[in-house]
Structure 1
Amino acid sequence: MPDHLESESRKLLRRLRDTLAEKGEGQERLDRITHLIADSMGTQVCSIYLFRDEDTLELCATEGLNAEAVHKTRMRVGEGLVGRVALSAQAVNTGNAPSEKGFRYMPETGEEIYSSFLGVPIQRLGERLGVLVVQSKDAREFSEDEVYALEVVAMVLAEMTELGAFVGDEAAMSALHQRSVLLRGGSAQEGTASGRVWLHEPRVVITNPVADDPQQERERLEAAIDDLRVSVDDMLSTASTGDSEQVQVLEAYRMFANSRGWKRRMLEDIDRGLSAEAAVEKEQSLARARLQTVPDAYLRERLQDLDDLSNRLLRILTGQGHETGAEMPKNPILVARNIGPGELLSYGRKLKGIVLEEGSVGSHAAIVARAWAIPLVIHAERITTEALNGDHILVDGDQGIVHLRPEDTVAAAFRDKMAMQAKAQERYASIRDKEATTRDGTTIALHMNAGLMADLPSLDSSGAKGVGLFRTELQFLVRNKVPRRDELAALYAKVLDASAGKRVAFRTLDIGSDKVLPYMKPQDEPNPALGWRAIRVGLDKPGVMRMQLQALIRAAAGRDLTVMFPFVAQMEEFIEARTNLLDMCDHEQRMGRPVPETLEVGAMLETPSLAFAPKQFFQMVDFISIGGNDLKQFFFAADRENERVRRRYDTLNVSFLTFLRQIVDRCNECGTAVSFCGEDAGRTVEAVCFAAMGLRTLSMRPASIGPVKHMLRHTDLAEARAVIDKACEEGAQSVRPAVMEWMRSNGWAV
């Protein structure tokens, strides 16, 4: 690029920075900017459109269009050329705008006389903030250099928008990241927590997007890249004694850290007027944009590596983030865009709660949060942008609500709620060693769900009768390769030791859907929840299944063993899996090793089809565990990861309860033990209804055992059954209102 053009680019950015530094209202700044850009680029029009909400753009400033249209002209994302830029996050450059597909004529702006159009997105790391447009009367396409210049200006505007340069006066600017914010997400794990924000990937704030001294910025970038390379080499040397998979990942990581092309592009950005930080972020934004469109899984992983390296480089340049030695607060609430199981487990049990921008109710994070009995809120949009390390934060996992930097009145009300919950837990502790026997003499066995060794102390503290579900996939998910049989056998033996003779139902490997092993190639499936998962993977990969079954047999070492297979859809699948288990027992016995004293082999009923299996299946299986989470989503054809539909369908819907009753009747007919396992079992109203339907074993998270036991001990199941039957006879869609009214009439808090 010729020197005179580079200096013009730097000149424009300096003028922009100086304009932004001038005092004044937000509108004044926007007006000065549009005038500056139009003047510098030699165009008759420059306009800035910002998002009013996630679907609507508003004309917020213009040089050249009718001033009366400002704050009046609005358009939907995808509408007109401006909306097209916002939708695609790509520049639109045309010499004949009216002839372009999707062109929308806005008479109030007076733009019909302008033929040329160049629009670029105002965005920061994939977050859409608006659109920057220049227009001119002469019919021509803008040059590559002009497109680049406008993109750089848009990037600087995005940074300044993030810093609050357009929110109004100085007082409003200083209030950014200080005001109270209420965020509504989804509940993935119930509970409440008050603490301080700990960002998994601290947000880097760039306050100097424009370079004063390009040579100095080049030197800063060079020094930061050298530091980055040293840190990656240190990681590699530490991992050199570990497994080869980890070394291979870090080798690819180091390759990017030493990439000449990556460094060259950032140096070119500095030469055009950006600071070192802004140059890094510009390349990071491009990598993230490519990440969204690359279909190849390997390339996506490599682009993810580049994204992570950019974050590290930004933290080195700015001195922000964990690398500066910042200490985790005493009551940390983890805030992240998303997080894997290994990263989450590395925090240990110090966390008081988790808030994610993404995530799902069946994710690894949700599994760990349930195991740790801490609240988890998912789909909390913009939390990583709004929150700063150390911010006071309140997490309401019951409602899926987050209060960031709450006002005193909100914090006081939240403290009262937590105090009431703590008082209730004290009351439940007094009945820990008592049976969950109803007023009419029926005893319900309450078991707990687990997946980590750290869960096992809850067996005694919660009063659980046993472990109704021990998830075995976490030990596979946190490693870079398949765990060894001896490692698994040792872990399972510790679980049985810790249970002190109480029953533990080991669920075999349940992967697929949203639980993908890092060392297993993801399957390109249109609907993974209905695809290659759980027992289907085990039967197609018999070596892995047999290895796990052998580890369970060796862990039992002559003790009782309970195994159940997940996601069984038809009898033949259970027969094949059961045969594998019995064959492994025979093999171990021939090898002179002890086999389980008693062996229970069960199936999880998570698909409606299994409820209609032949009678021989119910006679063959030792027990049935109804997997409520999956069964409900397939019964109602409502994806439990889809917030729009998952809450539409009630567990206490008459159709679903009738279906559960049919399953219980089939099991009773064949003398087969049956239990209900899932989140709904841990909710008091649902638990009472399940018991009234004939279920005598419920499995739930440990924290739910106290409340459920307390409610059951006050319940007459015959009365509950009569209330349910009456609601059904009267044509109710759900029995919930009737059951809750009956409970309130008895003076019970629900």
Structure 2
Amino acid sequence: MADGTESESRKLLGRLRDTLAEEGEGQERLDKITHLIADSMGTDVCSIYLFRDPETLELCATQGLKPEAVHKTRMRIGEGLVGRVARSGQPLNTENAPATRGFRYMPETGEEVFSSLLALPIQRLGETLGVLVVQSKDQRRFSEDEVYALEVVAMVLAEMAELGAFVGEGAAMRALHQQAMLYQGTTGQEGTAEGHVWLHEPRVVVSNPVADDPEAERERFREALEQLRMSVDEMLTRLEPGDKDQREVLEAYRMFANSRSWIARIEADIARGLSAEAAVEKEQSTARARMEQVPDAYLRERLHDLDDLSNRLLRTLSGQGSETGAEMPDDPVLVARNIGPAELLDYGRKKLKAIVLEDGSVGSHAAIVARAWAIPLVIHAKSITAEALNGDPIMVDGEQGTVHLRPEETVVNAFRDKMAMMAEAQHRYASLRDLPAETRDGAVIGMHMNAGLMADLPSLDNSGAEGVGLFRTELQFLIRNRMPKRQELAEIYARVLDAAHGKRVQFRTLDIGSDKVLPYMKPTDEPNPALGWRAIRVGLDKPGVMRMQLQALIRATRGRPLAVMFPMVAQFDEFKAGRDHVFRELEREAALGHVLPERVEIGTMLETPSLAYAPRQFYEMCDFISIGGNDLKQFFFAADRENERVRRRYDTLNVSFLSLIEGIVQRCDAAGTSVSFCGEDAGRPVEALCFAAVGVRQLSMRPASIGPVKSLLRRVDLSEARAVICEARENGRQSVRQPVMEWLAKQPR
């Protein structure tokens, strides 16, 4: 671009900045901006459309269209050419708009007389806030320079909208970060919490998108870039020889930080009038748009590296790094796009009131930690990090999967009433802690807890759990940047047994794969990871890892009993192979003169329908079986539990699923093998009652669920509950939930 054009671009940005700096309401500012752009670009029309809600655009200001159309003309996302740009996030440049596919005639605007059209999304880091449009009567395509100039203006408008510059008339004019917002996500962990937002990686707010001195901005950029390069080089020198994957990521950072084309594009944007921060963010937005379109997983990962590098550079330029930011509130609710297990554990269980993620999954390490801490978790809260600011009041309802950001008073009062009722119920459950879960007809149900961290173990005494029905060993692998050493694991497992004070602990061997990928293990690109290379399949294919873990478990017992079980077993031979590994390690440990466990019990998680129909010898060979309800249910119904469209479609109390559970219990009873039900459903009182009614006599759940489940079991007669289930089955009911609920309503409290 010629110097003269760059100078004109800087003049336009300067005039735009001055206009935004003037006193006035949001509508007045927008009106001035449309006049300014139309005048500077020599077009007949300039219009600004903003979102009034996630699906609807509203014409908020115009120069050239009929003034009465402002705040009256609305369109759905994808509707008309403007709606199409909003949906795609891509600019549209046409010399004959009325003849362009998707054109929608809006008589109230009077736009039918304008032929050429250039429309660009007003977006910030992938979040589209609206659409900026210029139109002319003459038929022409706008030049690359004109498109670029409008792109820069659209970006500045997005930054100013972020800073609340357009507060004023009309629903679409409300500033970001001010109004009450409701997010409907997915339940990752039940519970309710009230607190204030703490952003895990707060986005940098660019308060100076336009700069007067390009040379000074270019110097600032180069200094920040050099600082970034030095920090990357320093991190590389600190890596251990085995840190191959971290080295690859940092080498990618260094490659991008030295990319001439990337630097040239940013410096060109600075020359046209953008500040250093705005120029970096403009390039970052372009990279994010590319990332959404790239099907190749490796290239997407590299673009993600560039995105992270840009964030680091922005924090350096703006001084908005986490070390210089706001102080964490006393009642923090962590809000993040996603978070790794080590980062999450750094916050500590005693600080966080709840966790809200844009991404994540119900089986992820974040969900496991949230369950261990017994704090609410909501995942898939789309776009919340774009709206939330540190310190914003927030209420999280894990049961409903809803998040109220900056809630209104009526919502606050209703939410607090619900929390008070739940606190009262918890107080009532605490009085049952030392009593058995004995039903009115004399059946005693064993109540066990799930764990995965040392910090979980105090709940053994506090909750009244009789033991640990599931200790997830993968968390000790996930929270490290390298493979843990055998001695480290042995010490951890020994402390677990020490903290259990003689109560039984069932250790599940490493369950990785699917959504639990070790940071130091190269991920496999599988079309369906939940059904792929995971759990015991990894252990049998990489026997060195399994051997090391089994040796650590054996040494941790120091002569105490050991119970070990294998995850995701699909056939008898897999269990036998895992069992043989245990015997071989016991022989090796004995040969080395190490103390062996007092006794060893070897069991399995039953998580696949195929294993329910394994030969009789399988049930006889197992010392114990734990029904892994979460995976078994999704495989039984062929419904991915991460997929909101189908996961709620199938009921745990479906008669077919209950019949499967009952059949497993009967086969275990016939073989003399103990069986338990482990998973989220074990901690839901009505589901737990039905499992007990079909013969399950041991349940394993999160500690906070033991009280509610025990409370219900102690006031029912299982033989009556079983009769209700059998009658529903005989009557051809699809689910027993409604008849069981109706029967429960008649029971004495």
Superposition TM-score tier, normalisation by shorter sequence: over 0.9
Q: Confirm or deny: 8 A CA contact 1:571 1:617 kept in the other structure.
A: yes
Equivalent runs, 1:617-636 vs 2, <5 Å: 617-636=618-637
Residue aligning to 2:561? 560
Residue aligning to 1:427? 428
Cα displacement string for residues 214-239 of structure 1 (whole angstroms, at most 9, x for unaligned residues): 34433443444455456556656666
Q: How far apart, CA to CA, are the structure 2 residues paired with 1:325 and 1:136? A: 46
Residue aligning to 1:668? 669
Residue aligning to 2:46? 46
Q: How far apart, CA to CA, are the structure 1 residues paired with 2:367 and 2:738? A: 29
- The offset of 1:534, in angstroms, is 1.4
Q: Confirm or deny: 8 A CA contact 1:211 1:273 kept in the other structure.
A: yes
Q: How far apart, CA to CA, are the structure 2 residues paired with 1:175 and 1:40? A: 27
CA separation of 1:83 and 1:549: change in aligned 2, threshold 3 A: same
Q: How far apart, CA to CA, are the structure 2 residues paired with 1:238 and 1:582? A: 40
Residue aligning to 1:328? 328
Q: How far apart, CA to CA, are the structure 2 residues paired with 1:465 and 1:676? A: 15
Q: How far apart, CA to CA, are the structure 1 residues paired with 2:639 and 2:386? A: 31
CA separation of 1:86 and 1:416: change in aligned 2, threshold 3 A: closer
Matched, 1:569 2:545: no
Q: Confirm or deny: 8 A CA contact 1:69 1:108 kept in the other structure.
A: yes
- The offset of 1:137, in angstroms, is 4.3
Cα displacement string for residues 501-529 of structure 1 (whole angstroms, at most 9, x for unaligned residues): 21111111111111112222222222221
Q: Confirm or deny: 8 A CA contact 2:365 2:516 kept in the other structure.
A: yes
Q: How far apart, CA to CA, are the structure 2 residues paired with 1:260 and 1:373? A: 49
Cα displacement string for residues 213-270 of structure 1 (whole angstroms, at most 9, x for unaligned residues): 3344334434444554565566566667996765664455455455555444333212
Q: How far apart, CA to CA, are the structure 1 residues paired with 2:286 and 2:664? A: 54
Residue aligning to 1:508? 509
Q: Confirm or deny: 8 A CA contact 1:217 1:270 kept in the other structure.
A: yes
Q: How far apart, CA to CA, are the structure 1 residues paired with 2:432 and 2:152? A: 65
Equivalent runs, 1:310-709 vs 2, <5 Å: 310-324=310-324, 326-349=326-349, 350-709=351-710
Equivalent runs, 1:198-347 vs 2, <5 Å: 198-229=198-229, 232=232, 246=246, 249-250=249-250, 252-254=252-254, 256-257=256-257, 261-295=261-295, 297-324=297-324, 326-347=326-347
Please give the secondary structure, in 1, of the residue aligned with 2:121: strand
Q: How far apart, CA to CA, are the structure 2 residues paired with 1:739 and 1:679? A: 19
CA separation of 1:69 and 1:173: change in aligned 2, threshold 3 A: closer
Cα displacement string for residues 644-668 of structure 1 (whole angstroms, at most 9, x for unaligned residues): 2212222112222122112212222
Q: How far apart, CA to CA, are the structure 1 residues paired with 2:671 and 2:730? A: 28
Q: How far apart, CA to CA, are the structure 2 residues paired with 1:132 and 1:166? A: 14
Q: Confirm or deny: 8 A CA contact 1:20 1:165 kept in the other structure.
A: yes
CA separation of 1:707 and 1:61: change in aligned 2, threshold 3 A: same
CA separation of 1:244 and 1:607: change in aligned 2, threshold 3 A: closer
Q: How far apart, CA to CA, are the structure 1 residues paired with 2:320 and 2:482? A: 33
Q: How far apart, CA to CA, are the structure 2 residues paired with 1:158 and 1:252? A: 30
Residue aligning to 1:20? 20
Equivalent runs, 1:128-139 vs 2, <5 Å: 128-139=128-139
Q: How far apart, CA to CA, are the structure 2 residues paired with 1:137 and 1:471? A: 68
- The offset of 1:678, in angstroms, is 0.4
- The offset of 1:97, in angstroms, is 4.8
Cα displacement string for residues 284-321 of structure 1 (whole angstroms, at most 9, x for unaligned residues): 21222233344555544443333233323333443435
Q: How far apart, CA to CA, are the structure 2 residues paired with 1:26 and 1:224? A: 34
- The offset of 1:434, in angstroms, is 2.1
Residue aligning to 1:197? 197
Cα displacement string for residues 419-444 of structure 1 (whole angstroms, at most 9, x for unaligned residues): 33333333322222222111111111
Q: How far apart, CA to CA, are the structure 2 residues paired with 1:378 and 1:471? A: 21
- Bigger drift between 78-87 and 431-440 goes to 78-87
CA separation of 1:727 and 1:231: change in aligned 2, threshold 3 A: same
Structure 1 alignment gaps of length 5 or more: none
Q: How far apart, CA to CA, are the structure 1 residues paired with 2:245 and 2:706? A: 41
- The offset of 1:540, in angstroms, is 2.1
Please give the secondary structure, in 2, of the residue aligned with 1:346: helix
Q: Confirm or deny: 8 A CA contact 1:201 1:336 kept in the other structure.
A: yes
- The offset of 1:639, in angstroms, is 1.2
Equivalent runs, 1:182-193 vs 2, <5 Å: 182-193=182-193
Please give the secondary structure, in 2, of the residue aligned with 1:304: helix
CA separation of 1:42 and 1:537: change in aligned 2, threshold 3 A: same
Q: How far apart, CA to CA, are the structure 1 residues paired with 2:223 and 2:171? A: 37
CA separation of 1:486 and 1:190: change in aligned 2, threshold 3 A: same
Q: How far apart, CA to CA, are the structure 2 residues paired with 1:207 and 1:49? A: 22
- Bigger drift between 84-93 and 577-586 goes to 84-93
Q: How far apart, CA to CA, are the structure 2 residues paired with 1:418 and 1:115? A: 59
- Bigger drift between 213-222 and 117-126 goes to 213-222
- The offset of 1:694, in angstroms, is 0.5
Q: Confirm or deny: 8 A CA contact 1:605 1:611 kept in the other structure.
A: yes
Please give the secondary structure, in 1, of the residue aligned with 2:444: coil
Amino acid in the other structure paired with 1:646: R
Residue aligning to 2:90? 90
Cα displacement string for residues 698-722 of structure 1 (whole angstroms, at most 9, x for unaligned residues): 0000111122122212221112212
- The offset of 1:473, in angstroms, is 1.1
Structure 2 alignment gaps of length 5 or more: none
Q: Confirm or deny: 8 A CA contact 1:316 1:323 kept in the other structure.
A: no
Question: Taking structure 2 as the reference length, what is the TM-score of the superposition?
Answer: 0.92
Over aligned residues, Cα RMSD in angstroms? 2.8
Q: Confirm or deny: 8 A CA contact 2:447 2:466 kept in the other structure.
A: yes
Q: How far apart, CA to CA, are the structure 2 residues paired with 1:19 and 1:233? A: 43
Q: How far apart, CA to CA, are the structure 1 residues paired with 2:26 and 2:415? A: 35
- The offset of 1:331, in angstroms, is 1.7
Q: How far apart, CA to CA, are the structure 2 residues paired with 1:44 and 1:412? A: 52
Q: How far apart, CA to CA, are the structure 2 residues paired with 1:193 and 1:662? A: 40
Residue aligning to 2:7? 7
Cα displacement string for residues 262-281 of structure 1 (whole angstroms, at most 9, x for unaligned residues): 44433321211112221121
- The offset of 1:470, in angstroms, is 0.8
- The offset of 1:60, in angstroms, is 3.9
Amino acid in the other structure paired with 2:728: A
Question: How many pairs does the alignment contain?
Answer: 748
Q: How far apart, CA to CA, are the structure 2 residues paired with 1:99 and 1:405? A: 45
Amino acid in the other structure paired with 2:735: S
Residue aligning to 1:149? 149
Question: Taking structure 1 as the reference length, what is the TM-score of the superposition?
Answer: 0.92
Matched, 1:717 2:710: no
Q: How far apart, CA to CA, are the structure 1 residues paired with 2:100 and 2:179? A: 43
- The offset of 1:730, in angstroms, is 3.4
Equivalent runs, 1:107-118 vs 2, <5 Å: 111=111, 114-118=114-118
Q: How far apart, CA to CA, are the structure 1 residues paired with 2:121 and 2:169? A: 25
Q: How far apart, CA to CA, are the structure 2 residues paired with 1:634 and 1:242? A: 37
Q: Confirm or deny: 8 A CA contact 2:619 2:668 kept in the other structure.
A: yes
CA separation of 1:525 and 1:102: change in aligned 2, threshold 3 A: farther
- The offset of 1:359, in angstroms, is 1.7
CA separation of 1:104 and 1:169: change in aligned 2, threshold 3 A: closer
Amino acid in the other structure paired with 1:126: G
Q: Confirm or deny: 8 A CA contact 2:438 2:445 kept in the other structure.
A: yes
Please give the secondary structure, in 2, of the residue aligned with 1:188: strand
Residue aligning to 1:37? 37
Q: Confirm or deny: 8 A CA contact 1:203 1:321 kept in the other structure.
A: no
Name the % identity. Answer: 75
CA separation of 1:237 and 1:80: change in aligned 2, threshold 3 A: same
Amino acid in the other structure paired with 2:619: F
